[in-house]
Amino acid sequence: MRIAVGTDHGGYLLKETIIAVISETGHEALDFGTDSEDSVDYPDFAEKVGSAIQSGKADRGIVICGSGIGGCIAANKMQGVYAAICHDVYSAQQGVEHDDMNVLCLGGRIIGTELAKVLVKTFLEARFVGEDQGQERHKRRVEKVKKLEKEGKQS
Ligand code: RB5
């Protein structure tokens, strides 16, 4: 898979580790910055990752900011982006398997590099099960989420 990676300055120190894991596991990393610890705005990097998914340049994405929260909120504003912060292995796996999560968000100031590596590997190995026999309920639920995305936008 092609994996779009975007971080702000709070996630920058994790970025090279994550890009290395993506390559080592046979995937292609698309690096959307940032490229230093200089202060930048997390929505700009979440947008780059989301746009890569929307255009089909990337299959999935990883967004990293200090806490994971701002990047996650921003990414989820983009149509077709299903992002979640997963700082435990169970969520990194089930978020894809049951919820069709396509963007993993991490807090670079919260987790260490070893946990980040395991979370990224888990995210990349997981597959949505909603098309599998006996697992249709997950597809039904994701379709309901997509309906909310389409119809629930007005305030
Ligand atoms: C940047 O200082 C910080 O606010 C940002 O990385 C992120 O944690 C926002 O959610």
Residue 122 maps to which CATH number? 3.40.1400.10
Residue 15 lies in a domain: yes
Q: What is the pLDDT of residue 52?
A: 98
- The set of protein residues with a Cβ atom below 6 angstroms from ligand 1 is 8, 10, 42, 65-67, 69-70
62 located within any domain: yes
What's the pLDDT score for residue 154? 67
Q: Is residue 12 part of a domain?
A: yes
Q: Quote the CA–CA distance of 125 and 132 in Å, as a whole number.
A: 16
Which domain does 29 fall in, by range? 2-127
pTM above 0.75, yes or no: yes
Q: Is 29 helix (H, G, I), strand (E, B) or coil?
A: strand
For ligand 1, atom 7, the nearest C-alpha belongs to 66
Q: Does residue 150 lie in a domain region?
A: no
Predicted pLDDT of residue 87: 98
Asked if residue 136 is part of any domain, the answer here is: no
Per residue of the chain (155 residues), give pLDDT as tens: 999 999 999 999 999 999 999 999 999 999 999 999 999 999 999 999 999 999 999 999 999 999 999 999 999 999 999 999 999 999 999 999 999 999 999 999 999 999 999 999 999 999 999 999 999 999 999 999 999 999 976 66
145 within a domain of the structure (yes/no): no
In a domain? residue 146 = no
Residue 60's SS3 state is strand
> 50 in a domain, yes or no?
yes
Residue 138 bears catalytic tag: no
- Cis omega (within 30 of 0) on the bond before 17? no
CA–centroid distance, residue 111 to ligand 1 (Å): 14
Number of domains in the chain: 1
Whole-number Å distance between alpha carbons of 132 and 136: 7
